[in-house]
Amino acid sequence: MNIRYPNGKTFQTTNSESSKKYSPTLYGNRGMTLEDDLNDSNVYYLHQQIAVIHKKPTPIQIVDVHYPKRSAAVIKEAYFKQASTTDFNGVYKGRYIDFEAKETKNKTSFPLQNFHDHQIKHMQQVVKQNGICFVILMFRVFNEVYLLPAEKLFHYWERKENGERKSITKQEVERDGYLIPLGFQPRIDYIKIIDAIYY
Protein backbone atom coordinates (compact mmCIF):
# COMPACT_ATOMS: atom_id res chain seq x y z
CA MET A 1 0.00 0.00 0.00
CA ASN A 2 1.27 3.49 -0.88
CA ILE A 3 0.81 6.17 1.77
CA ARG A 4 2.00 9.71 1.17
CA TYR A 5 2.78 12.59 3.53
CA PRO A 6 1.13 15.99 2.96
CA ASN A 7 4.25 17.14 1.06
CA GLY A 8 3.80 14.28 -1.44
CA LYS A 9 6.70 12.14 -0.22
CA THR A 10 5.98 8.42 -0.01
CA PHE A 11 5.86 6.90 3.47
CA GLN A 12 8.19 3.90 3.58
CA THR A 13 8.67 1.46 6.40
CA THR A 14 12.09 -0.07 6.70
CA ASN A 15 12.53 -3.72 7.52
CA SER A 16 13.56 -2.78 11.04
CA GLU A 17 10.42 -0.67 11.50
CA SER A 18 8.24 -3.48 10.23
CA SER A 19 9.83 -6.01 12.55
CA LYS A 20 9.63 -3.53 15.43
CA LYS A 21 5.92 -3.15 14.93
CA TYR A 22 4.98 -6.77 14.48
CA SER A 23 7.64 -8.88 16.19
CA PRO A 24 7.12 -9.95 19.78
CA THR A 25 8.94 -7.93 22.40
CA LEU A 26 11.57 -9.47 24.62
CA TYR A 27 9.69 -9.41 27.90
CA GLY A 28 7.87 -12.60 28.70
CA ASN A 29 7.07 -13.44 25.06
CA ARG A 30 3.86 -11.51 25.46
CA GLY A 31 3.86 -10.44 21.81
CA MET A 32 3.15 -6.87 22.86
CA THR A 33 4.73 -3.67 21.63
CA LEU A 34 5.37 -0.57 23.74
CA GLU A 35 2.30 1.00 22.13
CA ASP A 36 0.14 -2.03 23.05
CA ASP A 37 1.31 -1.86 26.65
CA LEU A 38 0.56 1.86 26.81
CA ASN A 39 -2.89 1.34 25.30
CA ASP A 40 -3.62 -1.33 27.92
CA SER A 41 -2.35 0.97 30.67
CA ASN A 42 -4.60 3.76 29.40
CA VAL A 43 -7.61 1.43 29.42
CA TYR A 44 -6.78 0.58 33.03
CA TYR A 45 -6.55 4.30 33.93
CA LEU A 46 -9.89 4.94 32.21
CA HIS A 47 -11.72 2.04 33.93
CA GLN A 48 -10.28 3.03 37.32
CA GLN A 49 -11.31 6.67 36.65
CA ILE A 50 -7.72 7.80 37.11
CA ALA A 51 -7.14 9.55 33.76
CA VAL A 52 -8.60 9.82 30.27
CA ILE A 53 -5.76 9.30 27.77
CA HIS A 54 -6.05 7.88 24.25
CA LYS A 55 -3.87 7.19 21.25
CA LYS A 56 -4.46 9.76 18.55
CA PRO A 57 -5.71 8.34 15.25
CA THR A 58 -3.61 9.21 12.20
CA PRO A 59 -5.83 10.96 9.62
CA ILE A 60 -5.51 9.28 6.22
CA GLN A 61 -7.07 10.21 2.87
CA ILE A 62 -7.81 7.08 0.81
CA VAL A 63 -7.42 7.58 -2.95
CA ASP A 64 -7.37 4.08 -4.44
CA VAL A 65 -9.35 1.06 -3.27
CA HIS A 66 -9.66 -2.34 -4.96
CA TYR A 67 -12.52 -4.73 -4.33
CA PRO A 68 -11.25 -8.27 -5.05
CA LYS A 69 -14.59 -9.57 -3.79
CA ARG A 70 -17.76 -8.03 -2.48
CA SER A 71 -16.97 -8.64 1.18
CA ALA A 72 -13.40 -7.28 1.08
CA ALA A 73 -11.80 -3.98 0.17
CA VAL A 74 -8.04 -3.47 -0.24
CA ILE A 75 -6.58 0.03 0.11
CA LYS A 76 -3.94 0.43 -2.61
CA GLU A 77 -3.01 4.09 -2.14
CA ALA A 78 -3.55 6.64 0.63
CA TYR A 79 -2.10 9.92 1.88
CA PHE A 80 -1.44 11.26 5.35
CA LYS A 81 -3.75 14.27 5.55
CA GLN A 82 -1.34 16.09 7.84
CA ALA A 83 1.90 15.48 9.66
CA SER A 84 1.24 13.65 12.91
CA THR A 85 2.10 15.35 16.19
CA THR A 86 2.46 12.97 19.15
CA ASP A 87 1.04 9.53 19.90
CA PHE A 88 -1.09 10.08 22.99
CA ASN A 89 -3.07 12.85 24.67
CA GLY A 90 -5.74 13.33 27.30
CA VAL A 91 -6.42 14.80 30.71
CA TYR A 92 -5.26 13.98 34.24
CA LYS A 93 -6.15 15.92 37.40
CA GLY A 94 -7.44 18.79 35.29
CA ARG A 95 -4.28 19.16 33.20
CA TYR A 96 -3.68 18.35 29.57
CA ILE A 97 -1.32 15.41 28.97
CA ASP A 98 0.55 14.93 25.69
CA PHE A 99 3.30 12.43 24.95
CA GLU A 100 5.17 10.45 22.36
CA ALA A 101 6.33 6.84 22.78
CA LYS A 102 9.45 5.46 21.07
CA GLU A 103 11.54 2.32 21.39
CA THR A 104 15.01 1.33 20.27
CA LYS A 105 17.12 -1.81 20.08
CA ASN A 106 20.21 0.32 20.68
CA LYS A 107 22.08 -0.51 23.88
CA THR A 108 24.02 2.69 24.47
CA SER A 109 21.91 5.56 23.10
CA PHE A 110 18.53 6.71 21.83
CA PRO A 111 18.68 8.06 18.24
CA LEU A 112 17.05 11.46 17.84
CA GLN A 113 16.13 10.58 14.25
CA ASN A 114 13.15 8.82 15.86
CA PHE A 115 11.66 12.28 16.37
CA HIS A 116 10.57 14.84 13.77
CA ASP A 117 10.82 18.61 13.81
CA HIS A 118 7.02 19.08 13.75
CA GLN A 119 6.69 16.81 16.81
CA ILE A 120 9.24 18.85 18.76
CA LYS A 121 7.46 22.09 17.80
CA HIS A 122 4.14 20.62 18.90
CA MET A 123 5.60 19.57 22.27
CA GLN A 124 7.11 23.03 22.74
CA GLN A 125 3.66 24.56 22.17
CA VAL A 126 2.11 22.18 24.72
CA VAL A 127 4.75 23.07 27.34
CA LYS A 128 4.20 26.79 26.63
CA GLN A 129 0.51 26.31 27.49
CA ASN A 130 1.44 24.59 30.78
CA GLY A 131 0.48 21.15 29.53
CA ILE A 132 2.26 18.06 30.85
CA CYS A 133 4.42 16.85 28.01
CA PHE A 134 7.00 14.08 27.87
CA VAL A 135 8.32 11.13 25.89
CA ILE A 136 8.32 7.50 26.92
CA LEU A 137 11.50 5.77 25.74
CA MET A 138 12.05 2.04 25.76
CA PHE A 139 15.41 0.30 25.54
CA ARG A 140 14.17 -3.06 24.32
CA VAL A 141 17.41 -4.95 24.93
CA PHE A 142 17.30 -4.08 28.63
CA ASN A 143 13.50 -4.16 28.89
CA GLU A 144 13.68 -0.67 30.45
CA VAL A 145 11.14 2.10 30.01
CA TYR A 146 11.83 5.73 30.93
CA LEU A 147 9.75 8.88 31.10
CA LEU A 148 11.78 11.85 29.84
CA PRO A 149 10.18 15.30 30.35
CA ALA A 150 9.85 17.24 27.10
CA GLU A 151 11.97 20.09 28.47
CA LYS A 152 14.91 17.68 28.76
CA LEU A 153 14.31 16.37 25.23
CA PHE A 154 14.41 19.94 23.87
CA HIS A 155 17.96 20.35 25.17
CA TYR A 156 19.15 17.24 23.29
CA TRP A 157 17.24 18.22 20.16
CA GLU A 158 18.88 21.65 20.20
CA ARG A 159 22.27 19.99 20.62
CA LYS A 160 21.57 17.89 17.51
CA GLU A 161 20.37 20.95 15.56
CA ASN A 162 23.65 22.68 16.43
CA GLY A 163 25.54 19.90 14.66
CA GLU A 164 26.52 18.01 17.77
CA ARG A 165 25.54 14.52 18.95
CA LYS A 166 22.57 13.01 17.10
CA SER A 167 21.43 10.80 19.97
CA ILE A 168 20.81 10.82 23.71
CA THR A 169 23.19 8.52 25.56
CA LYS A 170 21.63 5.90 27.82
CA GLN A 171 23.45 7.54 30.74
CA GLU A 172 21.75 10.85 29.89
CA VAL A 173 18.35 9.15 29.75
CA GLU A 174 19.05 7.52 33.12
CA ARG A 175 20.13 10.87 34.59
CA ASP A 176 17.39 13.11 33.16
CA GLY A 177 14.59 10.57 32.85
CA TYR A 178 12.61 8.45 35.27
CA LEU A 179 12.65 4.66 35.14
CA ILE A 180 9.11 3.26 35.04
CA PRO A 181 9.01 -0.15 36.74
CA LEU A 182 7.04 -2.62 34.61
CA GLY A 183 4.07 -4.13 36.39
CA PHE A 184 0.85 -6.00 35.70
CA GLN A 185 -2.04 -3.56 36.07
CA PRO A 186 -1.14 -1.15 34.69
CA ARG A 187 1.82 -2.55 32.74
CA ILE A 188 3.49 0.87 32.37
CA ASP A 189 2.40 3.04 35.31
CA TYR A 190 3.58 6.39 34.00
CA ILE A 191 0.92 8.25 36.01
CA LYS A 192 2.87 7.43 39.19
CA ILE A 193 5.90 9.20 37.65
CA ILE A 194 3.76 12.18 36.62
CA ASP A 195 2.55 12.48 40.22
CA ALA A 196 6.16 12.55 41.43
CA ILE A 197 7.28 15.18 38.90
CA TYR A 198 4.32 17.52 38.39
CA TYR A 199 2.21 17.29 41.55
- Which residues sit opposite 144 in a β-bridge? 139
Task: Give the CA dihedral 141, 147, 150, 154, nearest 10 degrees.
Answer: -30
pLDDT score recorded for residue 54: 95
**Residue ranges making up the domain that contains 12:** 2-198
Q: How many domains does the chain have?
A: 1
SS3 call for 159:
helix
Mutual angle of helices 190-198 and 34-47, in 10-degree steps: 70
pLDDT score recorded for residue 28: 40
pLDDT tens-place string over residues 27-85 = 343 446 899 999 999 999 999 999 999 997 665 556 677 777 777 777 777 555 555 67
pLDDT score recorded for residue 21: 39
- Which residues sit opposite 97 in a β-bridge? 90, 132
Is residue 38 within 8 A of residue 71, CB to CB? The reply is no
pLDDT < 50 regions, the chain: 13-31
- Which residues sit opposite 11 in a β-bridge? 3
What CATH number did the domain enclosing 173 receive? 3.40.1350.10
